[in-house]
Amino acid sequence: MSVDHYENFPVASILCPPALRPAVVALYHYARTADDIADEGPGTPEQRRALLQRYRQCLLAAVGKAEATVTTIPTPRPPGGAGQDQPSWPEVFEPLGRVVQQHGLPVQPLLDLLDAFEQDTHNPPYPDRAALMDYCRRSANPVGRLLLHLYGVNDAASLAQSDAICTALQLINFWQDFSRDHPVGRCYLPHADAQAHGLNPQDLCALNDSPATQTLVRELVGWARQLMTQGQGLAPRLPGRVGWELRLVVQGGLRILDKIEALQYRSLRQRPRLHLWDVPLMLWRAARMRA
């Protein structure tokens, strides 16, 4: 499994301190596996939610929660499939349990991620920005908080900046993936924003760029950029490799926004991507970041 597969998780790159790399990889595999269950698991949404509930039980058992009881129960079967005992994912929870114990990681962010993945199986509409922010609070922000805990950073100001960065990255991923998400029925656009421009989800799923959609995307890009600006001062305050990793994560997100802008916000059909030739500019901008 490639460690850059899960888009909400900063990868354990060469900039990650070697002593922390096993912990980052363990957290990544926990999140990646749950995300795969929610998005690509067998059977119906109800069956995937049952697997996520099993996954939650395994998490609580791995971190020593007394209320956890992990029993062998039948696996939800897709039509025509054969039943089997549910997995316990030892390749995920054995290293994760060690990491939680070694670093004293809080369990709530791990549970919040599972709440978000379960919400994904419902594929709900998002009526306004507050609803989407609540989703990001559980799908993205826990990642930053867990990593800050590994780095020994837990003051309120840093946590707030981390939340702003993680939410911005999640929103940027949504705006980047219009052309992938809408054809399969996933829509993370706040309906209130779309309606303010006379648009509805059907207009957006048709992937037809128009002056109204361009204006909408421009406003959404501005929202994500504002959040990133609120949080980016955290990166220069973090020391060494950790700080440089976050600088580049921030600049990567901002560069995607630049590319959407360069498309004149016609991103419903085109997916902007980072390339090797973007790296020098990102490094230059990262070096100029100040707290």
Q: What is the CATH number of the domain that holds 161?
A: 1.10.600.10
User: pTM score, two decimals?
Assistant: 0.89
127 and 248 together in one domain: yes
20 and 87 together in one domain = yes
CB atoms within 10 A of CB 240: 10
| Inter-residue contact 144 to 207 (CB < 8 Å) | no
Separation of alpha carbons 226 and 251, rounded Å? 14
Query: Does residue 158 sit in the same domain as residue 205?
Result: yes
End-to-end C-alpha distance for the chain, whole angstroms: 35
Total domains in the chain come to: 2
In a domain, 113, yes or no: no
Q: pLDDT tens, 45-85?
A: 999 999 999 999 999 999 986 444 444 334 444 444 444 56
Task: Tell me: do 231 and 158 sit in the same domain.
Answer: yes
Same domain, yes or no: 193 and 279: yes
Supply the range of the domain harboring residue 141.
Answer: 123-291
Retrieve residue 200's tokens.
């509805």
* Any domain includes 269: yes
146 exposure class (CB count in 10 Å sphere: 0-12, 13-18, 19+):
buried
Is 110 a domain residue?
Answer: no
pLDDT, the chain, mean: 87
Residue predicted with more confidence, 75 or 268: 268
Give strand pairing partners of 85: 74
The token pair that represents 247 in the structure block: 């600088």
Do 81 and 176 lie in a common domain?
Answer: no
Residue 95: what are its φ and ψ, rounded to 5°?
-65, -35
Strand runs (DSSP E) across 57-157, as ranges?
A: none
Highest mean pLDDT, choosing among 79-88, 200-209, 269-278: 269-278
The strand pairing partners of 209, in sequence order, are none
